[in-house]
Structure 1
Amino acid sequence: MSWQTYVDNQICAQVSCKLAVIAGLADGQIWAKFEKDVSQPVSQQELKAIADALKDNPNSFQEHGIHLAGEKYFCLQADNTLIRGRKGSSALCIVATNTCLLCAATTDGFPPGQLNTVVEKLGDYLRANNY
Structure 2
Amino acid sequence: MSWQDYVDKQLMASRCVTKAAIAGHDGNVWAKSEGFEISKDEVAKIVAGFENESLLTSGGVTIAGTRYIYLSGTDHIIRAKLGKVGVHCMKTQQAVVISLYEEPIQPQQAASVVEKLGEYLITCGY
TM-score under structure 2 length normalisation: 0.92
Question: How far is 1:107 from its partner?
Answer: 2.9
* Equivalent residue number for residue 23 of structure 1: 23
Instruction: List runs of 5+ in structure 2 lacking aligned partners.
Output: none
Q: Secondary structure at the match of 1:13?
A: helix
Letter in 2 for 1:9: K
Residue-by-residue CA offset, 1:61-116 (whole Å, 9 max, x unaligned): 12221011000111111222110111111111010000001000013432111001
- CA–CA separation in structure 1 for the residues paired with 2:43 and 2:57: 17
* Equivalent residue number for residue 95 of structure 2: 100
Q: Cα distance 1:35–1:73, how it changes in 2: closer, same or farther (>3 A)? A: farther
Question: How far is 1:130 from its partner?
Answer: 0.9
1:83 aligns with 2:82: no
Runs of 4+ in structure 1 deviating by more than 3 angstroms, as ranges, are none
Percent identity among equivalent residues? 34
For the 8 Å contact 2:16–2:109, the answer to whether it is kept is no
Q: Which residue, out of 36, 43, 47, partners 2:43?
A: 47
Question: How far is 1:9 from its partner?
Answer: 0.8
Question: How far is 1:16 from its partner?
Answer: 4.8
Letter in 2 for 1:51: V
For the 8 Å contact 1:15–1:106, the answer to whether it is kept is no
Aligned residues: 126
TM-score under structure 1 length normalisation: 0.88
Answer with 94-103 or 58-67: which moved more: 58-67
For the 8 Å contact 1:85–1:91, the answer to whether it is kept is yes
Instruction: List runs of 5+ in structure 1 lacking aligned partners.
Output: none
Q: Secondary structure at the match of 2:14?
A: coil
- CA–CA separation in structure 2 for the residues paired with 1:76 and 1:48: 19
Letter in 2 for 1:22: I
For the 8 Å contact 1:22–1:32, the answer to whether it is kept is yes
- CA–CA separation in structure 2 for the residues paired with 1:73 and 1:35: 20
Letter in 2 for 1:116: A
Q: CA RMSD in A?
A: 1.5
1:116 aligns with 2:111: yes
* Equivalent residue number for residue 123 of structure 2: 128
